[in-house]
């Protein structure tokens, strides 16, 4: 489908979904964002749903300003995926050992590495700029500086919620490795700190929603936020890269005889800010639950822990600010999912997948998410499908 424009908005709000399918609270958030004086347009993805301040699944283009809540509290959250030389025929009948080895290599939930991961010990990991990256930690917000040791030990860890590590098969039978994570606790703390700082500024008093507080260009507060934001985005990228290297090492050890090789890794943020130019304007584009889908750019759009995911290539649609959805998107809250579904439902909906099937992950049940096939179909003018993947192992945070 092409987009539908919301009538009566102060700036263009373009929806790549049926307006009637957008929950009332999310539509109100979109209208609220459109009233900000710095806004130049919104592109709304088919996985849109209610969030903090700004909806998840929205792309917001602003001139001379940025809204931290429109980035999301997990700064730099995103996906990585790589195709391997393994095929379905190489996999053992019982995948529980492989899942266990992945969980041993990559801490999940609130877990962290006992000692920081040394990237020089990872097979082929590029270490250029690693020391400089950590030296720049001294320049981030004072409120989180003392957490340096924790940030180092959480590098290369999964986290919780909807984050995951997966073993997948594409339609040709090729094995893919895929994972989803962000900037861990340090990114969350930086985001919450700066949202609080923005809310104190005089120009943000009287906003229709205090969570839409912005930083404006050429101010010390904006400079401080940009510094911390871009550092956290880099942390998230390193975090996924370290995890993928750990994941690949597990695969090399477990399939030693196969001498596994890996294609180049596909990686993309879906909670971040980028400086981009549209219609002759230099804009700050925030993608909160959206990926960049410029012409020919590869991206990853995951479904749920039982339905599968898509590798896509962007079509460069400027009406959507060169963007696409970041996943299936939730159709109910975590608490609603826990009320509605049982562990028996989870077992049925994840049949054939080696994964947790206990009450701790019922809120991640496939039924709590929108149908990924429909989400993909609604953005055929934003991306083309390169590969459809189905997980056989899913490690949840």
pLDDT digits (tens, 9 = 90+) for 135-186: 999 899 877 877 889 999 999 999 998 999 999 999 999 999 999 999 999 9
Average pLDDT over residues 104-111: 94
pTM of the model: 0.95
326 is catalytic: yes
pLDDT tens figures, 244-270: 999 999 999 999 999 999 999 999 999
Look at residue 17 and give its three-state secondary structure: coil
Tell me, what's the pLDDT at 351?
96
Average pLDDT over residues 219-243: 96
Tell me, what's the pLDDT at 292?
98
pLDDT tens figures, 333-359: 999 999 999 999 999 999 999 999 999
Average pLDDT over residues 371-393: 97
The 10 Å Cβ neighbour count of residue 338 is: 15
Tell me, what's the pLDDT at 18?
92
196 in Cβ contact with 186 (< 8 Å)? no
* Lookup: tokens for 254: 């477990």
Q: Which residues of 216-250 are buried (b: 16+ CB within 10 A; e: fewer)?
A: beeeeebebbbebbebbbbbbbbbbbbbbbbbbbb
Angstrom distance (rounded) from CA 186 to CA 157: 12
Tell me, what's the pLDDT at 1?
57
């Amino acid at each position: 489908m092409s987009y539908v424009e919301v009538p009566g908005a102060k700036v263009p709000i373009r929806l790549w979904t049926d307006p009637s399918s957008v929950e009332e609270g999310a539509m109100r958030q979109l209208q609220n964002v459109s009233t900000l004086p710095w806004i130049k347009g919104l592109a709304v993805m088919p996985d849109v749903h209610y969030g903090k301040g700004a909806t998840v699944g929205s792309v917001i283009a602003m001139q001379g300003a940025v809204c931290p809540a429109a980035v999301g509290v997990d700064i730099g959250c995103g996906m990585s995926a790589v195709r391997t030389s393994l095929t379905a025929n190489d996999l053992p009948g019982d995948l529980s050992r492989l899942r266990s080895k992945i969980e041993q290599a990559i801490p999940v939930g609130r877990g962290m590495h006992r000692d920081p991961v040394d990237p020089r010990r990872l097979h082929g990991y590029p270490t250029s700029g690693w020391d400089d990256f950590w030296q720049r930690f001294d320049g981030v917000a004072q409120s989180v500086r003392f957490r340096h040791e924790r940030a180092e030990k959480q590098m290369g860890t999964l986290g919780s919620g909807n984050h995951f590590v997966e073993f997948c098969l594409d339609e040709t039978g090729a094995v893919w490795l895929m994972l989803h994570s962000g900037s861990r606790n340090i990114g969350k703390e930086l985001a919450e700190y700066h949202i609080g700082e923005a809310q104190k500024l005089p120009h943000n008093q009287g906003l229709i929603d205090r969570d839409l507080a912005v930083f404006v260009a050429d101010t010390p507060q904006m400079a401080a936020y940009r510094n911390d934001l871009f550092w956290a985005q880099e942390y998230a990228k390193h975090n996924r890269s370290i995890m993928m290297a750990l994941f690949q090492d597990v695969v090399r050890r477990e399939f030693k005889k196969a001498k596994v090789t890996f294609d180049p890794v596909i990686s993309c943020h879906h909670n971040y800010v980028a400086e981009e130019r549209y219609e002759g304007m230099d804009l700050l584009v925030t993608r909160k639950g959206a990926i960049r889908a410029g012409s020919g750019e590869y991206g990853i759009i995951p479904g749920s822990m039982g339905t599968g995911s898509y590798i896509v290539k962007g079509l460069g649609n400027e009406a959507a600010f060169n963007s696409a959805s970041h996943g299936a998107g939730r159709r109910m809250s975590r608490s609603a999912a826990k009320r509605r579904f049982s562990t028996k439902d989870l077992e049925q909906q994840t049949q054939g997948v080696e994964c947790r099937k206990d009450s701790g992950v019922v809120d991640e049940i496939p039924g709590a998410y929108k149908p990924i096939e429909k989400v993909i179909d609604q953005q055929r003018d934003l991306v083309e499908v390169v590969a459809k993947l189905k997980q056989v192992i899913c490690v949840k945070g």
